[in-house]
């Protein structure tokens, strides 16, 4: 593929945050000559390079009671060499939707000779493995993993680690276009290939032009993400003293990380998870607060934001969901150790203005799951590997 070269990189401490790069063309052929790196501001990412990263990447698909057709479409869009890991929280009583997902996955894998993992978030064996590994952050009062997409992401991450993967990407199960899924993963690979540091992240910016139906909904979604980005940028400017608009992907559900980075980040519950990743990176490596991780600081963290060619269309979840999303997204910034009084006031004013808070209220505290590095990985892997076979669709 051809992609804009990272034209401008902003640095905060040891974080290198790249401005949005657009995909110029989805394919770059085998014959086309490689332009001199960076000439005309375009980079060619050849197929071999993309395949190299795909082979080392797990794609985690969190799913909760989505339409089966959508789920199947998403799986069919994931490049063949990636390991698909489905973490489901779908219902099991009456209609066993989890079973249906497993069957659909099994069939796709049989047709195409590929391997995949599927686990239920509330499976007691997963909770037990977590306890054995000394990591009970994800567990609720009933001793099982709590509900939530973020919790599913951490399970996926640990399974990817158990399967020996070096990169992990997330793709939502409610995407309408399999071709867009294919592109997301190729964009992840492109980003990783441009990274200088072993600690890297790629976030997707959708290119959407909704016209037919749901136009209003998309505008509102666009508003939510604009507001999140604005306050993330504010947080940065308030510390550096320079205005910036570098952050464009605060709420990006579609994103990927090197395993090395993924395991040292904390994961906030609920819709706070994606913005919290950035907030935590700025806190830990932005050079303002002391870091606990000198080694990472030395190598730096590369963040890429890639704007897709494909439009994005996913299930509509309604307005209430958007309010909740805004509240938790801005909550992550509000509760950050980096957030000064002025930035806090701006967030409160915004939330009141958007009708997400009343005058005197403040954003509720956010539950943050400790970095998975805290998991005694060897113990988790031993515990889960006793059972790992059970999670593979093709046994
Ligand atoms: P949005 O895309 O950010 O508006 O949020 P969605 O509600 O669409 O959720 C994103 C993805 O996470 C979808 O694939 C959902 O099916 C999935 N999801 C949502 N909640 C949960 C959960 O509790 N557990 C799991 N495993 N997946 C979830
Ligand atoms: Co969605």
Beta partners for residue 168, in sequence order: 58, 257
Task: Tell me the CA–centroid distance for residue 149 and ligand 1, in Å.
Answer: 5
Tallying the residues shown for the chain, one arrives at: 395
Cα–Cα nearest to 281, from 249, 311, 254: 249
For the CA of 253, the nearest atom of ligand 1: 3
Judged against a pLDDT cut of 90, whether residue 51 lies above it is answered with: yes
Task: Tell me the CA–centroid distance for residue 89 and ligand 1, in Å.
Answer: 9
For the CA of 173, the nearest atom of ligand 1: 14
Express each pLDDT in 231-245 by its tens digit.
Answer: 999 999 998 888 999
Judged against a pLDDT cut of 70, whether residue 342 lies above it is answered with: yes
Note the pLDDT of residue 31. Answer: 77
pTM over 0.85, yes/no: yes
Express each pLDDT in 89-123 by its tens digit.
Answer: 999 988 999 999 999 999 999 999 998 999 999 99
383 or 42: which carries more pLDDT confidence? Answer: 42
Judged against a pLDDT cut of 60, whether residue 38 lies above it is answered with: no
In this structure, the residue with its CA closest to atom 7 of ligand 1 is: 317
Q: What percent of the chain has pLDDT over 70?
A: 92
> 51 exposed, middle or buried (CB, 10 Å; 0-12, 13-18, 19+)?
middle
Note the pLDDT of residue 210. Answer: 57
Mean pLDDT over all residues of the chain?
90
Residue with tokens 């209220």: 361
Ligand nearest to the CA of 67: 1
Task: Tell me the CA–centroid distance for residue 37 and ligand 1, in Å.
Answer: 39
Q: What share of the chain is helix, strand, coil (3-state, %, to 5)?
A: 45, 15, 40
Residue 166 corresponds to which tokens in the numbers above?
């070096």
Note the pLDDT of residue 9. Answer: 94
Note the pLDDT of residue 19. Answer: 97
Q: How many of the other CB atoms lie within 10 Å of CB of 284?
A: 23
Q: What's the CA gap between 344 and 350, in Å, rounded?
A: 10
Task: Tell me the CA–centroid distance for residue 176 and ligand 2, in Å.
Answer: 10
361 or 35: which carries more pLDDT confidence? Answer: 361
Alpha helices in the chain (DSSP H): 47-55, 68-77, 97-112, 124-132, 149-162, 178-194, 215-240, 259-262, 273-285, 294-299, 319-334, 341-353, 377-391
Local structure of residue 371 (DSSP, 8 states): P
Task: Tell me the CA–centroid distance for residue 12 and ligand 2, in Å.
Answer: 31
Task: Tell me the CA–centroid distance for residue 255 and ligand 1, in Å.
Answer: 14
Express each pLDDT in 278-299 by its tens digit.
Answer: 999 999 999 999 888 899 999 9
Q: How many domains does the chain have?
A: 1
Note the pLDDT of residue 206. Answer: 84
For the CA of 251, the nearest atom of ligand 1: 3
Q: What's the CA gap between 67 and 317, in Å, rounded?
A: 13
Residue list, ligand 1 pocket, CB within 6 Å: 62-64, 66, 87-89, 121, 147-149, 152, 172-174, 253, 314-315, 317
Judged against a pLDDT cut of 80, whether residue 377 lies above it is answered with: no
Mutate to test the pocket of ligand 1, among 118, 145, 149 (most ligand atoms within 8 A of CB): 149
- CA 194 vs. chain centroid, Å, equals 18
Residue ranges making up the domain that contains 112: 2-391
Judged against a pLDDT cut of 70, whether residue 222 lies above it is answered with: yes
Task: Tell me the CA–centroid distance for residue 92 and ligand 2, in Å.
Answer: 21
Mutate to test the pocket of ligand 1, among 59, 61, 63 (most ligand atoms within 8 A of CB): 63
CATH number of the domain encompassing residue 166: 3.90.550.10
Task: Tell me the CA–centroid distance for residue 73 and ligand 2, in Å.
Answer: 14
Residue 314 corresponds to which tokens in the numbers above?
């996913």
| pLDDT-based confidence at residue 83 (cuts at 50, 70, 90) | very high
Ligand nearest to the CA of 172: 1
Express each pLDDT in 242-284 by its tens digit.
Answer: 899 999 999 998 999 999 999 999 999 988 999 999 999 999 9
In this structure, the residue with its CA closest to atom 17 of ligand 1 is: 63
For the CA of 121, the nearest atom of ligand 1: 26
Cα–Cα nearest to 62, from 306, 314, 332: 314
Q: What's the CA gap between 232 and 253, in Å, rounded?
A: 16
Judged against a pLDDT cut of 80, whether residue 37 lies above it is answered with: no
40 or 227: which carries more pLDDT confidence? Answer: 227
- Residue 311's H or E segment, with its range, is none
In this structure, the residue with its CA closest to atom 21 of ligand 1 is: 149
Measured N-to-C along each axis, helices 215-240 and 319-334 cross at an angle, to the nearest 10 degrees, of: 0
Mean pLDDT, rounded, for 342-370: 93
Mutate to test the pocket of ligand 1, among 64, 120, 121 (most ligand atoms within 8 A of CB): 64
């Amino acid at each position: 593929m051809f992609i804009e070269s990272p034209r401008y990189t902003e640095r905060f401490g040891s974080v290198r945050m790249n401005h949005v790069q657009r995909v110029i063309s989805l394919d770059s052929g085998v014959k086309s000559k490689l332009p001199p790196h960076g000439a005309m501001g375009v980079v060619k990412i050849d197929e071999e390079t993309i395949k190299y990263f795909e082979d080392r990447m797990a794609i985690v698909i969190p799913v909760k009671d989505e339409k089966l057709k959508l789920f199947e479409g998403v799986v069919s869009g994931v490049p063949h060499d990636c390991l698909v890991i489905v973490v489901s929280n779908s219902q099991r009583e009456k209609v066993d939707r989890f079973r249906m997902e497993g069957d659909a996955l099994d069939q796709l894998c049989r047709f195409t000779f590929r391997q995949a993992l599927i686990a239920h978030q509330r499976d007691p064996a997963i909770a037990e493995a977590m306890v054995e590994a000394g990591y009970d952050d994800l567990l609720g009062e009933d001793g099982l993993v709590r509900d939530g997409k973020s919790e599913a992401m951490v399970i996926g991450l640990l399974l990817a680690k158990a399967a020996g993967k070096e990169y992990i990407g997330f793709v939502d199960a409610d995407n309408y276009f399999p071709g867009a899924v294919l592109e997301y993963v190729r964009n992840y690979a492109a980003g990783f290939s441009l990274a200088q540091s072993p600690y890297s992240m790629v976030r997707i910016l959708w290119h959407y032009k909704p016209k037919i139906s749901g136009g209003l909904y998309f505008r509102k979604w666009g508003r939510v993400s604009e507001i999140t980005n604005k306050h993330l940028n504010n947080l940065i400017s308030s510390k550096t003293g320079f205005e910036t608009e570098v952050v464009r992907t605060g709420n990006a559900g579609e994103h990927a990380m090197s395993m090395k980075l993924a395991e040292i980040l904390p994961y906030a519950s609920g819709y706070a998870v994606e913005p919290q990743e950035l907030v935590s990176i700025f806190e830990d490596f932005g050079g303002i607060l002391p870091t606990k991780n000198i080694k990472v600081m030395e190598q730096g963290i590369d963040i890429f934001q890639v704007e897709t060619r494909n439009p994005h269309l996913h299930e509509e979840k309604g307005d209430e969901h958007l309010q909740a999303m805004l509240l938790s997204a801005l909550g992550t910034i509000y509760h950050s150790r980096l957030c000064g009084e002025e930035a806090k006031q701006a967030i409160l004013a915004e939330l009141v203005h958007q009708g997400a808070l009343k005058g005197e209220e403040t954003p509720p505290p956010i539950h943050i799951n400790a970095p998975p590095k805290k998991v005694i990985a060897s113990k988790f892997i031993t515990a889960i590997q006793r059972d790992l076979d059970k999670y593979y669709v093709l046994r």
